[in-house]
Amino acid sequence: MDLAFNLSSLRRTAAILERLERALAVNIRLHHADGMLQAGDIFLFNHFARFETFIPQYLIHRHTGALVRSVASAEFFQQDDRFSRYLLGLGAVPNDHPRLLPFLAEEILRGRKVLIFPEGGMVKDRLVLDATGDYAVYSRSARTRRKHHSGASVLASTLAAFKIALRSVNDDDLLHKWMQSLNLSRQELLTALNRPTLMVPGNITFYPLRVDETALHRLIDGFTRRHPQQAEELLVESNILLRNTDMDLRLGSAIPADGRWSRRGLGYWRTLLENAADLDQLFSLDAQHGPVESQLVARQLRHQSLALRDRTMGRLYEPTTINLSHLAASLLHYRLTVGQPDIPRRQFHHALFLAIRALQRSPEVHLHRGLVAPERYAGVIDDSCPGLTDLLDVAEASGVLERGPEFYRVLPKLKEATAFDSIRKENPLGVYINEAAPIKAVAGIAAQALDEAAALDDQTLSHLLFAEELKALAWARKHFAQPRFADINSQETASQSALPFWLAPEKPRRLGVLLVHGFLASPAELRSLGDRLLQRGYPVLGVRLAGHGSSPWDLRKKRWQDWLASVRRGIQILSPFVDQIALVGFSSGGALSLICAALHPQKLAGVVSCSAPLKFRNANLAVVPFIHSANEIVRRLSNRDGLVVFRPNDSEHPDINYRNIPVSALNQLRQMVEELKERLALVKTPCLLLQGSEDRVVDPISATLIHQRLTSASFRRLQMIPASRHGILNEDLGGCQQMVIDFIESLGGDDNAVTVCPGTE
């Protein structure tokens, strides 16, 4: 069997995988400390899907340039065909190779890396703890649970002992002997001997886990009926590859394999090194047979190897990337475990929110980016988070959850035993629960979060939600300050504070005002109006629309629905302190306010829409969808972000607005306008429309069209402002700020409220 690397195959495969990484829907992220990839010798990973075995090898080679040996199942090499030779050329070694461990040790001494999956097979159920809390995985061949295979630790312990022993003897003749045996130069061998032998545990986590039928699965329906085990694997892996899935590979801290050897033990080793012809003899030491010295060394090596194996087992799961599904499933599991299967929906969603915040303060827990970026998990509070909705749909469809209007009921199936080869399909939440079980902080947070959620009042929640809004901006600014965004960021001119603001008078009225800024701007755009409303006793919240005030790159990733969600969160924050709310929106903020009034009119007293668009002056916006589509195609098929990713913006207020407009955001703007057209007839609240007569951005006819379509509004008034500027509300042209104040005064809310708002900016 030829185990030589085929460098041309390696290069071609790396190029193909790089293209596939962009073209497929799986998002691969490698998390590691600086220098870890270069320093590590033996990399250990957990095993959940067949295709993943190629990924760590590819990533290690891409980041270090080192050649990587991967231990693979012998089933792939039963025939001497093109595929088996291809795998061998990439660095694969059959797990039944007669020289497996000595060969891998030789490769490490030559500076190569080794990749091993110590679980010994796919752990489909992710169950790695037994009933006593010890680490154990299911063995298909033995049909029982067992510890990890010890091959990796035997390799590391024996190689480390060999290095220590050969270094300690300080014998040139012995060194020369092993130079010849290993076919290494003196410098190469000395360098290898002085390197510590490091094992690096790594964890692969997929999110989300989907089991919907895919086109590929349906295409080979006949095969799937005849081979149910392979069908289940195809179902899971096709969902990972063809639908938007995050694959996080996270390396833990390195584990040195250097065991302790007494002076007598090193003496035994010298004898072994003198008598052994090659590494094969060192790896075949027998604790029961042979010279006494070799038996003693073999026993010591076995003791060190098993201890090292036990250390690495737990360390393999510590880097698990905890995601939203882990937390939600663990909360439901806890309620069932304590005999309280019914949980109020409100309490569950609040507990999930509190659990996320608590885990963010746990440095030992590695969180998925969906639990770090506040905008990603904001919707868990009101059941509007897509990832959570999908999980609850899966839970209901798989028979582990019932959803009522006020309560969730966790069903016994969640804890029932499920067959190893079907659990991913029949009980995905059970897989999430098992995967999170080794992370003690996750299990410990469930009871605390549920108790705190039961006692959480609305005003306290509002304080927490506003803190999340501040955190969201800080996170976005930090994330988009990375060097790859610098070219666009360096062109930006905005200098005014983009923080959302919360203003509260000493004696607040019962009517609150939510200010919604426009496209490309920030809350600073309406701050002067907010200050005037504050002076008149109105509680005021200036919301920041998602993607704004941070970086144009941030806005590039947002949808108009994300902007609407920002408005709804503002309403939720302000609501516990007032009886009613008036929405005041400028430009796109006005459009969002009208859409919100149509879809979510509860507690709304009225809407002021200033310079909202239905038509634009710039005719080039008509081609935006085509440019956006071209950008997406280019992004998928190349390493470029698109053909035309940003367009320059000649802003009236460069100290507030972005200078660069993402083409994708312009496309979202068009979609928002189409939504506005469809929703205007549903608006029933009183409406004031303000529009500059010679607006250079929004066609002034927009206001007339909006006014005509507000057929259900209880009151509607259109006021044209004699101005050629777009930003009439910010600049208070024609006294339009006073018009807004007068309209809000007409809505009522003159009496002082019972509670006092916090007045936070």
Phi then psi for residue 435, to 5 deg, are -65, -35
Confidence of residue 34 (pLDDT cuts 50, 70, 90): confident
Bond prior to 208 in cis (omega within 30° of 0): yes
Confidence of residue 245 (pLDDT cuts 50, 70, 90): very high
Mark whether 709 and 601 lie in a shared domain: yes
In this predicted structure, the answer to whether residue 751 has a pLDDT above a threshold of 70 is no
Q: What does the pLDDT read at residue 749?
A: 62
Whether residue 501 is found in the same domain as residue 548: yes
Cα separation, 312 vs 72, whole angstroms? 20
Is pLDDT at 22 greater than 60 in this prediction?
yes
Rg (CA), the chain: 32
404 with 541, same domain: the answer is no
Please list, in sequence order, all residues whose beta carbon lies within 8 angstroms of the beta carbon of residue 404, skipping any fewer than 6 positions away: 345
3-state secondary structure of 63: helix
**Which residue has 């701007």 as its token pair?**
521
pLDDT bracket for residue 754 (50, 70, 90): very low
Is residue 741 over pLDDT 90?
Answer: yes
Residue 632 confidence (pLDDT) = 72
Q: Is 717 left (phi over 0), alpha (psi -120 to 50) or beta?
A: beta
pLDDT of residue 159 exceeding 90 = yes
Phi, psi of 342 (to 5 degrees): -90, 130
Confidence of residue 63 (pLDDT cuts 50, 70, 90): very high
CATH code, 544: 3.40.50.1820
In 3-state terms, what secondary structure has residue 165?
helix
Contact 564, 384 (CB under 8 A): no
Pairing of strands 144-146, 137-139: antiparallel
Pairing of strands 42-45, 198-207: parallel
Question: How many domains, in total, are found in the chain?
Answer: 2
The one-letter amino acid code at 303 reads H
* Cβ within 8 Å of residue 379, ≥6 positions away: 385, 386, 388, 565
> In this model, does residue 449 exceed pLDDT 50?
yes
- Residues 379-396, mean pLDDT to the nearest whole number: 94
Instruction: Please choose, from the candidates 61, 46, 125, the residue with its C-alpha nearest in 3D space to the C-alpha of residue 419.
Output: 125
pLDDT of residue 292: 87
Give the separation between CA 283 and CA 157, rounded to whole angstroms: 10
Q: Which of 409, 428, 456 is the last residue of a domain?
A: 456
- The answer to whether residue 213 scores a pLDDT higher than 80 is no
Count of Cβ atoms closer than 10 Å to residue 453 Cβ:
22
**Does residue 621 surpass a pLDDT of 80?**
no
Other CB atoms within a 10 A radius of the CB of residue 528 amount to 14
Q: Does residue 169 form part of some domain?
A: no
Residue 80, number of CB atoms within 10 A of its CB: 10
201 bridge partner residues: 44
The confidence band for 639, taking pLDDT boundaries of 50, 70 and 90, is low
Mean pLDDT of the chain: 91
Lowest mean pLDDT across 24-33, 316-325, 362-371, 626-635: 626-635
Question: Of 504, 500, 581, 502, whose CA–CA distance to 545 is shortest?
Answer: 500
CA-based nearest residue to 585, from 556, 615, 613: 613
Instruction: Indicate whether 569 and 696 sit together in one domain.
Output: yes
Given a contact cutoff of 8 angstroms between Cβ atoms, the answer to whether 42 and 116 are in contact is yes
Range of the domain at 392: 321-456
Cβ-based neighbour number of residue 632 at 10 Å: 13
One-character DSSP codes across 174-197: HHHHHHHHHT--HHHHHHHHTS--
Sign, CA torsion 476/477/478/480: positive
Q: Does residue 756 surpass a pLDDT of 50?
A: no
Reported as a single tens digit per residue, the pLDDT across 562-582 is 999 999 999 999 999 999 999
* 640 pLDDT more than 90: no
The kind and range of the H/E element at 590 are helix 588-599
C-alpha 664/C-alpha 666 separation (Å) is: 5
Residue 498 CB neighbour total at 10 angstroms: 20
Of 83, 155, 151, 81, the closest CA to residue 112 belongs to 155
Residue 233, pLDDT score: 82
Residue 725, in any domain of the structure: yes
**Residues 592, 509 share a domain:** yes
Residue 359: pLDDT over 60: yes
What per-residue confidence (pLDDT) applies to 750?
A: 60
Same domain membership, residue 391 and residue 452: yes
SS3 557: coil
- Answer whether residue 726 is part of any domain: yes
Which pLDDT does position 728 carry in this prediction? 97
User: 65-74, 229-238, 523-532, 680-689 — which is least confidently predicted?
Assistant: 229-238
With 50 as the cut, is the pLDDT of residue 316 above it? yes
Q: Clarify whether residues 569 and 695 are in a common domain.
A: yes
252/65 Cα distance (integer angstroms) = 21
Give the mean pLDDT of 402-411. Answer: 96
Burial of 538 (0-12, 13-18, 19+ CB in 10 A): buried
In angstroms, how far apart are the furthest CA atoms of the chain? Answer: 104
- Between 136 and 626, the more confident residue is 136
Decide if 713 is inside a domain. yes
Contact 216, 238 (CB under 8 A): yes
pLDDT at 690: 98
- Report the pLDDT averaged over residues 388-393: 95
Nearest to 87 by CA among 26, 149, 4: 4
Position 538, amino acid: Y
Show the tokens assigned to 734: 């024609």
- pLDDT for res 556: 94
* Amino acid at position 53, single letter: T
Among all chains, which residue has been given the structure tokens 């999170």?
Answer: 436
Considering the domain boundaries, does residue 718 fall inside one? yes
- Cα–Cα distances (Å) from 317 to 40, 127, 201, 437, in that order, read 18, 11, 8, 9
- 444 and 382 within one domain: yes
Residues 613 and 559 in one domain: yes
3-state secondary structure 295-318: HHHHHHHHHHHHHHHHHHHHHHHC
Give the CA distances from residue 274 to residues 102, 559, 754, in Å, rounded to whole numbers and listed in that order.
17, 70, 90
pLDDT average, residue stretch 551-564 = 96
Are residues 448 and 504 located together in one domain of the fold? no
Average pLDDT over residues 170-184: 94
Which residue, chain included where needed, has tokens 């827990």?
Answer: 365
Higher-confidence position of 597 and 418: 597
pLDDT over 50 at 267, yes or no: yes
Does 20 score more than 80 pLDDT?
Answer: no
pLDDT of residue 78: 82
pLDDT the model gives residue 190:
95
Contact 228, 421 (CB under 8 A): yes
Confidence (pLDDT) at 216: 57
- Residue 13 and residue 40 in contact, taking contact as beta carbons nearer than 8 Å: no
Ramachandran bin of 133, using left for φ above 0, alpha for ψ from -120 to 50, beta for the remaining angles: left
The answer as to whether 13 is a domain residue is no
CB-based contact 574:760 (threshold 8 Å): no
Band of residue 373 on the pLDDT scale cut at 50, 70, 90 = very high
Element (H, E) at 144: strand 144-146
Say how far apart CA 548 and CA 555 lie, in whole Å: 6
Torsion of CA 563, 564, 570, 575, to 10 degrees: 180
The band of 222, judged by pLDDT with boundaries at 50, 70 and 90, is low
CA–CA distance, 17 with 597 (Å, rounded to integer) = 48
Res. 84: pLDDT tops 50:
yes
Most confident of 379-383, 458-462, 635-639: 458-462
Question: Mind listing the pLDDT tens digit for each residue in 113-140?
Answer: 999 999 988 899 999 999 888 999 988 7
pLDDT of res. 54? 84
Q: Is 728 left (phi over 0), alpha (psi -120 to 50) or beta?
A: alpha
Average pLDDT over residues 246-266: 92
3-state SS of 340-393? Answer: CCEEEHHHHHHHHHHHHHHHHCCCCCEECHHHCCHHHHHHHCCCCCHHHHHHHH
Q: Which two tokens stand for residue 385?
A: 């988070």
Using 50, 70 and 90 to split pLDDT, how confident is the model at 759? Answer: very low
Q: What is the pLDDT of residue 757?
A: 39
**How many residues are present in the chain?**
761
174 is a domain residue: no
Mean pLDDT of 226-252: 85
| Residue with tokens 């304590």, as numbered in its chain | 338
Residue 168's identity, in one-letter code, is S
* Residue 23 is assigned to a structural domain of this protein: no
- 498 and 439 inside one domain: no
- The pTM of this model reads 0.90
Q: Residue 752 has what pLDDT? A: 44
**Would you place residue 638 in the very low, low, confident or very high pLDDT band (cuts 50, 70, 90)?**
low
pLDDT on residue 624: 74
Residue 238: the pLDDT is 83
> What pLDDT is stored for residue 226 in this prediction?
55
Q: What is the pLDDT of residue 95?
A: 93
Last residue of a domain, one of 398, 428, 456: 456
In the 3-class helix/strand/coil scheme, how is 502-546 assigned residue by residue? Answer: EECCCCCECEEEEEECCCCCCHHHHHHHHHHHHHCCCCEEEECCC
Percent of all residues in the chain with a pLDDT value above 70, rounded to a whole number: 94
- Spatial CA neighbour of 574 closest among 599, 541, 597, 546: 541
For residues 514 and 445, state if they share a domain: no
pLDDT above 70 (res 347): yes
Q: Which helix (H) or strand (E) holds 158?
A: helix 151-169
DSSP, collapsed to helix, strand or coil, labels residue 478 as helix
